[in-house]
Structures are given as C-alpha cells and as structure tokens.
Structure 1
Amino acid sequence: MTDDATVDLIGALVEAADLPGSVDGWESLAMILEFGEGFRSVYGYAYSPGDVITPVSCKWSGIEAAVNAYLGERLPVKILVQYDRKAGKHEVTFEDTDEERWAVKPKNFRQMREQLRPKFD
C-alpha cells in the first residue's frame, strides 16, 4: 500500500460524503468500510469544533475505485479510516475476523462515536 493510495482513499471518502459543504468546519473524520457477503457499506462521523458530531455516509460507488486501488486483492471484514484534517494525520486499521468490531448500534452509538474519534498523539 502506498501513501498515495491512502491519500486517494481519504480524498474519495471526503468527496463522496460531501463533507466540505454539508458539515461546516469539520476537523476530523472516522469512517467504517464494511465488506460483508454480498454487500458493502460505508458510514461514520465527522467531528467539528464545539463537540459537534455529525453522522455521515456515502454511496459505495463513489469510493469503489479508491478502495480497490488501496486494497488490491486483500478483502478484510472492515476497515476503520481515521483522518484529522487539522493535524494532517491519518490512520487506517484493518479488521480481518471480528464482524462486530466497531458495530454502531442504538444502544452504543454515543460511546462508539467517541471511541472512533481520531486521537493522534
């Protein structure tokens, strides 16, 4: 995986989620990409100043080319993409077996949006 592929993946996520216009002043982003049997999904949160957290998602078709270029033949269960626009830092974490990792549900969504928030030291 080249750093260029990572930058392209993050750029595709930002563009497909339409973040610049829809979520004013967002500083960081956490997106979960799921690779289930027969389906693909992408969703997460944009974090703005003042503890404003906005749920975001995008169509798979908007990121498919960047995802394929990033992954090549490797197909994990999920990927967590965290990006801090202000700090210029990012992290991509793969999950190869646990389908419940990063599962956002009605009972845990407040906890998960904080757990997923990018925190780079």
Structure 2
Amino acid sequence: MSENVTSDLIHALVDKMEGPSVDWDGWTSLAMILELPDGTFNEAHGFLYSPDGTISAVAADARDVKPTVDAYTNSYYKPGQALPVQMLVQLDRTKSKCNVTFEDTDATRWKMTPRNRKEFREGLRPKFD
C-alpha cells in the first residue's frame, strides 16, 4: 500500500466494484457508502453516475476492500478510538477530485428507502466546484 491512503481507498473501491448493468468505461462520478456498524467495516455500496444521466447501483465485496478500508480508518483514528458508523466516498473522475465524509453516530444518515430513492441517489452525487 502507498502512503496516500485516500487514493488507495478509491482505487480499491473502483477496482472491486460490481453491478448488474453499468457503463464501466463512461461513468464520470462515484458515490460509495461504507458501513461500519460497531466499528467493523462490513459493506460498501453506492452509485456510478454517467454523462447521459444513467445512475447505476454498484457494490464492492467487503472482504476484498477491508484491508484498504482498515488502513484508511487507522490513518485517521487512534487505537481504541471509536470509528465512524458510516463513510461516504465521492469521486469525480472528470475533475480529479474526491471527498470522504465521516458519520460518527447516525447509522441511518445515508439510508435509501422506497420513498426517497430518486432524491437519495441524486443527493449523493459528487458536486465539486
């Protein structure tokens, strides 16, 4: 692993993500929610956004990206310190910008429901100036 844990995290998520119907070559941005209930990473899921407006659901196998997620959180949190319950990783490939947002307590902050599905997906879309 390199010394840039953010780059490593994004590469691991992108390299390991899968989805049923995805524009693998043309997508321009990514939003991925990492779930860490009880301080243990166990799930990565989110969306790819394509220029034509298509939003594709994707996920990354937790076993494949756990070492990279652990390295990332270990670089921000001291041993014994409570980890966040969720993390939102956003990437805009066209602008070469990324952001990682921590949610320390609200495990429902980034939860999709049938009622909020469209707003939820759009709300996670990276918007960098």
What TM-score results when the alignment is normalised by the length of structure 1?
0.89
C-alpha distance in 2 between matches for 1:119 and 1:47: 12
Measured after TM superposition, the shift of residue 39 of structure 1 is: 6.8
Structure 2 partner of 1:81: 89
Considering only aligned residues, what root-mean-square deviation do their CA atoms show, in Å? 2.1
Measured after TM superposition, the shift of residue 58 of structure 1 is: 1.4
Can you list the C-alpha shifts for 1:27-51, whole angstroms capped at 9, x where unaligned? 0000000112477111000001110
Greater mean alpha carbon deviation, residues 91-100 or residues 36-45: 36-45
C-alpha distance in 1 between matches for 2:63 and 2:41: 12
> Closer, same or farther in 2 for the Cα pair 1:32/1:5, shift >3 Å?
same
The SS at the match of 1:11 is: helix
Structure 2 partner of 1:52: 54
- 1:95 pairs, out of 85, 103, 117, with 103
Structure 2 partner of 1:15: 15
Structure 2: gaps of 5 or more residues: none
Measured after TM superposition, the shift of residue 57 of structure 1 is: 0.5
Whether 1:43 aligns to 2:40 is no
Measured after TM superposition, the shift of residue 114 of structure 1 is: 0.4
Greater mean alpha carbon deviation, residues 40-49 or residues 67-76: 67-76
Can you list the C-alpha shifts for 1:9-41, whole angstroms capped at 9, x where unaligned? 00000001058xx52301000000011247711
Structure 2 partner of 1:63: 65
C-alpha distance in 1 between matches for 2:43 and 2:114: 18
Structure 1: gaps of 5 or more residues: none
Residues 36 and 84 in structure 2, CA contact (< 8 A), matched pair in contact too: yes
**Seq. identity, %:** 46
The SS at the match of 2:126 is: coil
What stretches of structure 1 move > 4 A for 4+ residues in a row? none
